[in-house]
Amino acid sequence: MDDPTWASLIDDENIALVGFSLGGYTTLSGLGGITNKALFNEYCENTVEDFSCQPQPEFLSVLEAFNAIKHTAKVQQSLTRQGNSYHVDNIKAAVAIGAAVVHAFEPASLMAVKTPTMLMVGSEDRIAPNRYNSDYAHDLMPNSELVVIDGARHYSFLSECTEHGNTALPALCDDTGFIRRIDAHQAVIDKVLPFLQQHLSN
């Protein structure tokens, strides 16, 4: 909070966490979720319906990229810290949208989270399906609420695509058969803004 650029803009007693997809996982980590990669590996070995166990359209070569560096000192050192707590004490509220990799958390650590948390997910999310991620976290977290956006898929929460985006990454951009992306964004605003206003002081 001592950074000269940002310090005057940050009220360190009035902070919320908001994250999408893997950022949703990061949000839950900031609330005290403890990562155990072995749990996620075991879960993925026995689950075929949660696509967050697989490479995503935006980075299909992720496994090859990781295998190329996984034995480096920096990665190995990072892995030794996976079970650390990254809890941020002064978080007043949190929103995790389309949270992924939720089964990487120790269940007891999510049960211990007391921070008001909104878990938001699209009803048509096939990347991080509600049943295996947001709903799972909601069942564990005592002070959470689950919000399902009807007709939204995982990528509905990303920004609207440019013409180049539609051509280069149609899997992320083509919303045919789903809610219009602009409507998904409005649904997020309509739900998240009152939630944050409720839990953050004016």
In this structure, CATH architecture of domain 7-52+82-197: 3-Layer(aba) Sandwich (3.40)
> Is residue 81's pLDDT more than 90?
yes
Instruction: Using a pLDDT cut of 70, give the percent of the chain over it.
Output: 99
Q: Taking a C-beta distance cutoff of 8 angstroms, is the pair 99, 134 a contact?
A: yes
Q: Which residues contact 113 (CB under 8 A, 6 or more apart)?
A: 28, 31, 32, 33, 141, 142, 143, 144
pTM of the full structure: 0.91
Q: Which two tokens stand for residue 183?
A: 């409507």
Q: Output the CA angle 116-119-122, nearest 5 degrees.
A: 160
pLDDT at 9: 85
Q: Dump pLDDT digits (tens) for 28-54.
A: 999 999 999 999 999 999 877 788 888
Alpha-carbon distance of 118 to 122, in angstroms, equals: 13
- First-to-last alpha carbon distance for the chain, in angstroms, is 20
CB-CB contact of 115 with 144 (8 Å): no
pLDDT at residue 202 in the model = 60
Q: Write the pLDDT tens digit of every residue in 120-169.
A: 999 999 999 999 999 999 999 999 999 999 999 999 999 999 999 999 99
Proportion of the chain above pLDDT 90, given as a percent = 81
Mean pLDDT along residues 79-105: 94
The pLDDT tens digits for 64-74 are 998 999 999 99
Distances (CA, A) of 193 to 16, 22, 30, 40, 111: 11, 21, 20, 32, 25
Residue-range domain boundaries for the chain: 7-52+82-197
